[in-house]
Chain A
Amino acid sequence: MDAFSILPIDVVCTVILLWIAQGLLGLALQRAPQVICRVIFPLSACISLLLAATGLSALGGVANIAVLPLGLPDLPIHLRLDALSSFFLILLGGASFGISLFSAGYFKKTRGRVLGLLCLEYHLFLASMALVLLADDAYLFMVAWETMALSSYFLVTTDHAIPEIRRAGFLYLLIAHVGAVAILLSFGVMQAGHGIGAYTFGAMREVTLTGFWSSVAFLLALAGFGAKAGLLPMHVWLPEAHPAAPSPVSALMSGVMLKMAIYGLLRVTFDLLGTQLWWWGVLALGLGLITAVFGVMFAAVQGDMKRLLAYSSIENIGLLMVGIGLTLIFHVYGKHTLAALALTATLYHSLNHAFFKSLLFIGTGSILHATGERNMGQLGGLIHPMPWVSVLMLVGVLAISGLPPLNGFVSEWLLLQAFLLSPGLPNSYVNMLVPVAAAGIALAAALSAYVMVKFYGVIFLGQRRENAHKVAHDADYWERAGLLWLAAGCVLLGLAPVFVIQQIDAVSQMLLGAHLGNASANWMFLAPVDTHRASYGPLYFLLAVLGVMLLTVLLVRRLYHGRSKRGPAWDCGYPLQTARMQDSAEGFGQPIRRIFEPFFKIENEVPTPFDTEPKYHGISEDKLWYLLYLPLKALTEKLSGWVSLLQHGRIHLYLAYTFVTLIVLLVFV
């Protein structure tokens, strides 16, 4: 190889440095907000695009490795760019391109130090995520992981004057650190007492662990990365932290950061651990299923649009976990093509979720700017003043509901195909679990359509619920560009699945030693196993629907007429219609609350008919908070109460403790 050729890993390192430099520049230029918004954020978007392109070019190639003499003495940092990291770099670059473009418009009203710090933390966040993907030793991984957690913590608490936001940030920080400890312990198990030299991932790959210790490492990794991803029961931070953050940050956290946890789990499970056991798959599948159904159920009863999306992220993480679990099961039982199919579905869904969830989150940012309102019950009718946002968000809503021909459908289709091809596993218990899991997935997918009709319908459709929103304005050009990029991503990922799967094949080959390919040998048709078993042609599908629609329009116009007039709404003849008679967000979610009543902690306050100043309120809360977290908190407080018995704040007492310890040690050691 030419000595002067630039390796993809060099480009990625440059990208990381550029991002850090931009962050610092932003801090320095905090008195010039115009520069930050009009120059730094768009530049950062261009860098994201470069990163995505680099990832794409590196995907099929050999792994790049670099050892840099940085960090602690004698502990150089190891970097590695292989197919798995390249794939997630594409995800990071692709989604953050749109989000950074959007940020250029979104933060234009922010001023001063807030903007400077925000710019710094935002770019540190991006850089640390790229570094997580590049890290090839436990030390660098943990440093990058913690940088990611801290920078996002500061981003979440941007509006730290508000107590709820401080509380949300604290909860996030706490769970992130519990997770980080678990990850660190997992790495500790994997290096298997081989001393300080075995902290690199390369050394961990060489180590063969016994089944017990492999399982310990896997469980710790599942707990650690699960805490970051929002897996049940460590999901509580997600619906608090995501709404608290500014919208582009929510988009980054939900669309991209959660995928870093998926990346970490895949890295540990399939790359670092040499052997896998079947029950890991069952565990991941079960947890994923519960998480998915739980997430979507709670999403259906939310009134705050960003909380709704946060719960929907929990659902999608659940789906991804199901995919990982299925991959594990197939892989352990030696069904390599099926494992590749399940992994492809998982990775595809990660990419899809990055696009549509980011799109929806930044869309809520535009709404927030236009109306100053996060509560869906106060919005409504925004399709009229916000045509751009409403059209592009519709794309996101259809995609997240898993409707053809958009991207959400493709990954759902792949996942369901993986279930359908699964009979014949040697373990009959697992065989029985599979159809139940397929049913759960189908239920979660159908419920997410319910949630999205509610989300879109209550916010954008109907009549305005508040007159103040008459002045609502559409997104500005930068915001539109960001939304447009992500919406276009949703459409393209939906229409060209064969191309995407060809790219993912490199990852499957690396992790599982098998890949999917395309049986139909035609880029128009997706046929993962065999054209006779299943095939799907999204482009044909789109053309057929559009063709039939156009034909209908033409025929109706030709044979009849196009006359129409406007009039007041009919509504079955009821004359008095006010905007307040539409379904509110809570109203729309009421059937779900009623059907799944045992899962919610419901507080309803309904006044009597004679109340002259009636007040209605209904809260549906997470029971786990009361069943798990509050007892845990009480226990911790009790324990720390006992510990505080030792603490009196008097120096002579502490000296006595030291003296006693010394005597004890001298006697026994």
Chain B
Amino acid sequence: MQLRLIKDKFFSKLMLVLTLASVSVLLVIGIGLYYKSIPLLHKLSWGQLLTSSIWKPLKGLFGFYPFIMGTLWVTGIAIIVALPLCLLTSLYIVEYAPARVKRILTPFVNLLSGIPPVIFGVWGVLFIIPLIQKFIAPHFVDFSTGYSVLAGGIVLAVMIFPLIVSIISEVLRTIPQELKEASLSLGATKWETIKKVILRKALPGIVAATVLAISRAFGETIAVLMVCGNNAVAPHSVFDTGYPLPALIANNYGEMMSIPLYDSALMFAALLLFIIILLFNIISRVILTRLERRLVA
């Protein structure tokens, strides 16, 4: 009898401890990265590190502006490319596709999320790079190797596609049939119903899906690294090369560690990425709560 109650108490406490432990990992990572960045921060101020474009480790110059910009450009392009495609795909799957097509399509979309990033990278090099180099870039710029933030954005867009589609489809499925019927019964067409009722109702869910996808896109490394060109200059157009933060870390960690402060600089890059993702999540959480409140109110 007593033992049962002890067990009950024990497990409830155990779960609390485990939950706290996993949450504290976030804190530990943050503190650890900051601690490792201290040597660099002693040498250069936050302002210098964030705004300088000069990346010359041998001379002790570490400007992270190009990498921050590289990250933002690639992620931005990815979401601009992916979001409309994902929205239309989800709408087709949920609202238009006949049951048979739906059954075939859904596993295919999910399969896409199971493909390892390096394969997307290879696909980018073999397919997207030549496409940009030969067919897209010539219309806009004099010369491009194809290795660009655009290539990174497109590859990334394909990678986050299944995530966004599955979340948005789930959101669309929760919209009651009766709400659609209410609009249809007033003589609205299906497209009018989608535009004015369904998308409006699904807006918080769509925002949430986008946030999740962006968070994932920020950190995506290998596939992006293979197609972006990795040149430490801030991009000014979609056809410029870029060098996102994760690529910087992955490319250099373990090498050239003899250069003073280099190790600390890479840790600082990780810290930056960490902060960007954290800030982004906090901001989007605020936006999402506001949005939900506005829809209810």
Genuine A/B complex: no
Q: List chain B positions with a Cβ less than 8 A from chain A.
A: none
- A binding-site residues for B, Cβ under 8 Å: none
